[in-house]
Amino acid sequence: MITDKRRLDQKLIDFRGKCVHRWYNLSSETYLGRKMSFFPILSVNNYSEMLTKLGWYTWGVSIFCIVMLRQFVRPMTELSDYIDSVFPKEAADFLHLPISLIGVLALAILFALIAHAVKLHDRLSDLLRIRSEFDVNYVLYPLAIASGSTLSVAQFDKVRLSRKSLMGATFYAYVSSTKPVIDSHTITQALTNWSWFWICLEAITLLFATATILAVYGAWTPAALLLIACIVLLLLMRFFRLQSAAYAESQVAQVVRDETRRAAVAAEFNAL
């Protein structure tokens, strides 16, 4: 009996060792020849890392929101308690997690995965026209002017309609995290800044939805506190938005600094 227990303990130790080894491998996997952090807390070097960072922070905010809902909203309490009851206690002990947190973590993981799968920040951006307006006003119009293109009024109107193709041909062709033509440090700064912007946007969405549900169930005080948090995040978003404009201005200047690139960019606009 003692021998069997020792064998079981050894198997658990070996399994944990494999998990740690796998975690280490994930944290240093390469993406298109570059190191990609599995948990990029601060700086990001490419779009994939930005999505990973966004996913982690959205998961964290989801945990907070579900804890709040579990505290004040009975249906959420019942759902979380049900998940806790059906989750194997042995598995919770192995993960070193209190069984009372399993439901919260599981629901948060589910929402974070859904948000990642549908690219929630992109859907919100489309709804609020965040990226489209930024691309046109802070990237494409400045590029058209700085490159010396001779656009008519009608062609200027076409810039907005051809935003995606023009961004690819005149901007991302030179401002890419995988094959940067301009200063890569500027690209990293811009990506990191945008990652914080999208984190704030998704957090506001979750917090506002949670505050609305809490208000419906009569939990006015926590709902008000969450709305205050949304206001603070909106102010942070404004800061990151201004920073994004500054980075875009620098990147546009670097793109048109080279005569060959400037001519190629102008040709794309003149072809409209």
pLDDT in tens, 95-143: 776 767 788 898 999 999 999 999 999 999 999 999 999 999 999 999 9
* Domain-located, residue 28: no
pLDDT for 103 equals 84
Residue 34, H or E segment: strand 34-35
* Domain-located, residue 14: no
* Domain-located, residue 5: no
* pLDDT tens per residue across all 272 residues of the chain: 445 445 544 544 444 444 434 433 444 343 333 444 455 567 888 888 899 999 999 999 999 999 999 999 999 989 888 887 777 777 667 677 676 778 889 899 999 999 999 999 999 999 999 999 999 999 999 999 999 998 888 888 899 999 999 999 999 999 987 887 888 889 999 999 999 999 999 999 999 999 999 999 999 999 999 999 999 999 999 999 999 999 999 999 999 999 999 999 999 999 88
Rounded to whole angstroms, the Cα distance separating 36 from 26 reads 9
Rounded to whole angstroms, the Cα distance separating 169 from 270 reads 13
**Count of structural domains within the chain:** 1
Coil, strand or helix at 76: helix
Q: How far is CA 62 from CA 129, 175, 227, 257, in A?
A: 25, 33, 16, 44
Length, in residues, of the chain: 272
* Domain-located, residue 15: no
What are the pLDDT digits (tens) for 7-20? 544 544 444 444 43
Rounded to whole angstroms, the Cα distance separating 69 from 264 reads 54
How much is the pTM? 0.82
* Domain-located, residue 265: yes
Rounded to whole angstroms, the Cα distance separating 200 from 158 reads 32
* Domain-located, residue 115: yes
- HEC per residue, 197-262: HHHHHHHHHHHHHHHHHHHHCCCHHHHHHHHHHHHHHHHHHHHHHHHHHHHHHHHHHHHCCCHHHH
The secondary structure of 117-159 as a DSSP string is: HTTHHHHHHHHHTHHHHHIIIIIIHHHHHHTT----HHHHHHH
Q: How many CB atoms sit inside 10 A of residue 81's CB?
A: 12
* Domain-located, residue 99: yes
Rounded to whole angstroms, the Cα distance separating 78 from 214 reads 16
pLDDT for 151 equals 84
Alpha helices by DSSP H, listed for 28-101, are: 47-72, 74-86, 89-94
Coil, strand or helix at 35: strand
* Domain-located, residue 9: no
pLDDT for 272 equals 87
What domain range includes position 228? 46-270
Rounded to whole angstroms, the Cα distance separating 104 from 114 reads 16
